[in-house]
Structure 1
Amino acid sequence: MELEVRHLRALCAIADTGSLHRAARQLGVAQPSLSTQLRRIEQELGGPLFLRSHTGCHPTPLGRLVLSRARPLMAELHLLVTEARAAATGGTELRIGSTASKALAGWLRRLRARGQNPSLHMNVSPNALLRMVADGQLDVAFVHEVEGCPLRIPAALRLRVLVEREPQCVSLPVDHPAAAKQEVELADLAGDRWMIDPTVDGEWDAVQRMFREAGVSPHVLHGDYHTADALVATGEVVTVCQPTRTPGPDMAVRRLKDDPLGVRLLAAARTETDLDGVYPALEEAYREVARQAPAYRDWHPPDWLEPGGPLRPPSPALP
């Protein structure tokens, strides 16, 4: 067996996500297939590259050596492909990475209106996106940091904080008894099935901590949030969601009482100049979706939602 680009890509994905499950999802392959591939790579190189434990996959000394050579190679290859495509089309591509956000469409639209040529790379792992920016595979990333679960931010990156603490909401069936309230207590949902995506960095730990502090222990299913939305609409589950989430005819979005779960919204790039070129459009786009979301309008003062208003925690409930 000879090492190929796909093998190096797999090793970097495992290291970036810290999990075979998350790496397989990022690469679009089945986890057993990735595990088999990793064993073959380790056999070829003569030793284990990762230690597997209940906390995830961590590089061994041999793994760190291999990754120190693999990362620059992958970054250079990605840069080669990007520059070649830009040259072929006669333009320069702005490579954006992001976790899920309702603001993305408006952000991309504004960047194009400013004459920029953005491409979008989505990933549920903000840590993986930050590493891609540091390695030169992306120009900028828009990510969230779950409260109590700090991101591994490479030292070389520059940051802009869009929102210091944004409380997360809950989406539930519109005919759920708790949907009649403007604020929902976790005790009201203790008997429901929750669906949480464990591949989102920090999400599982933060939600479990929220349950413990509230003294509840609901049944939790694992699944991605697109699936969760479909199951909420049919009354099968409830789930956490962003306050910019738009309610639908079968789904209600409600604030959790005392805001027990929060995230910090960040933009990251390698230079302040890179941030200056994209951040104003991001801020405008985020205000736009916030103005359209009932969950935001219920508890944010108008000056926060209008252009030029202060992007800061607006109420005493958000320390």
Structure 2
Amino acid sequence: MELDLRHLRMVVAVAESGSVTKAAAVLGIAQPALTAQLNRIDRALGGSVFVRDRNGARSTELGDLVLRHARVLLPAMATLTDDVQRLVNSQDGDPGALRVGVAGSGLGGLFVNRLHSALPGADVTTVLPRGDDLGGALACGTIEVAVTGMCSDAPPPASESVTWTRVSTDPLFVLLHEGHEYADKPEVTLAELAEEQWLSVPDHSCLASCFVSACVRAGFAPSAVGEADWTTAVDQVRTGRAVALVEPGQPDPPGVRAVPLTGAPLRRTHYLGWRRDARGLLDTELIEDAAFRAHRDAVARSPQYGLWLERHPNIG
């Protein structure tokens, strides 16, 4: 018997579940059938892949070797299948499916909207890769396109197989409740907010350390920066209990106002990425155009941000 991908999927399922019984349920086959297949795999390889006893299944040294290869081969084959299907669909005039990974960028929703408009009939979906590892997700074919935001001028995740294009560099504003003494100012300095409790949306970049550094340069040490999702942050700011770092380019929710920080001490750079070998499968010019249009959409729906950009033409 020769091993095929079906056998590798069985080995991975048993290793990940730690039990033949559980793996059989995951694979949708009967336990005796899976046990028989594992025995055939052992005979084909000339050794046992797992030690199986009442405590479950544990991979042997041979099993570890098989697993290392399986975890490369299975994603590679899935990527090949997806790429072939996408190429066939594009030749038939069917745009097919496009999975977009988004992490740390407020442009994600607007970008996907633009893709829907530019690719009518395409199945455009958003994906949140595990651990925000967009570079890895692109490289292994889990997603086709990615939008990510990095702190200041930090580069995106490096990968020989991924191309990144800078879409924009934007300042971070501070979200204040509408009754705050600085809510109606055109700009506010970090030093003027030295006594505030700060919040930020969970971020995978170096924003927290950059924020502390900016505060120290402004002459004070901030209170610890808390994290909150967007809705929770807005609710906290609206009551006056905190202020929050936010990306501009979205309408202010009721009761709060986004105010620019003087000198733009904190910035976020948005990048668009795709696999280098996907150029024949994706219209990268169209996708780039959708990203740049998404940023213009963000500016257009925030008049205050548009005015700020006019005053600071070298940023953005």
Q: Normalization by structure 2: what TM-score?
A: 0.67
Taking the aligned partners of 2:68 and 2:176, their CA distance within structure 1 comes to 43
Q: What's 2:71 paired with?
A: 70
Q: Which amino acid aligns with 1:211?
A: C
Larger radius of gyration: 2
Question: Does 2:288 correspond to 1:279?
Answer: yes
Residue range with higher mean Cα deviation, 218-227 or 184-193: 218-227
Q: Which residue identity does 1:70 align to in structure 2?
A: R
Aligned pairs for 1:82-101 (under 5 A) are 92-99=96-103, 101=105
Q: Is 1:117–2:123 an aligned residue pair? A: yes
Q: CA deviation at 1:70?
A: 3.3
1:239 Cα deviation after fit: 1.3
Q: Deviations over 1:193-214 (max 9, x none)?
A: 1113454222222222222222
* CA 1:68–1:207: 2 relative to 1, 3 Å: farther
Partner of 1:261: 266
TM-superposed deviation, 1:229: 2.1
Alignment pair present for 1:151 and 2:159:
no
1:56-88 per-residue CA deviation (whole Å, 9 max, x = no partner) reads xxxxxx9xx98786355446557769999x99x
Deviations 1:2-24 (A, max 9, x none): 8648959xxxxxxxxxxxxxxxx
Corresponding residue to 2:175 among 148, 168, 171: 171
- RMSD, aligned CA: 3.7
Does the Cα contact within 8 Å between 1:72 and 1:135 map onto a contact in 2? Answer: no
Shift of 1:154: 0.9
For structure 1, the 5+ residue unaligned runs are 9-42, 47-61, 303-312
- Taking only the aligned residue pairs, the percentage that are identical comes to 21
Alignment gaps of 5+ in structure 2: 1-10, 18-56
Where 2:249 maps in the other structure, the secondary structure is: coil
Match of 1:309 in 2: none
Aligned mate of 1:107, from 101, 104, 111:
111
SS at match of 1:300: helix
Per the normalisation by structure 1, the TM-score is 0.66
Aligned to 1:301: 310
Residue 232, structure 1, aligned to residue 237, structure 2: yes
Does the 8 Å CA contact 2:199/2:244 hold for their aligned counterparts?
yes
* Closer/same/farther in 2, CA of residues 44 and 209 from structure 1, 3 Å limit: farther
Instruction: Compute the displacement of 1:155 (Å).
Output: 1.8
Q: Which residue of 2 aligns with 1:190?
A: 194
Whether the aligned pair in 1 keeps the contact of 2:214 and 2:265 (CA below 8 Å) is: yes
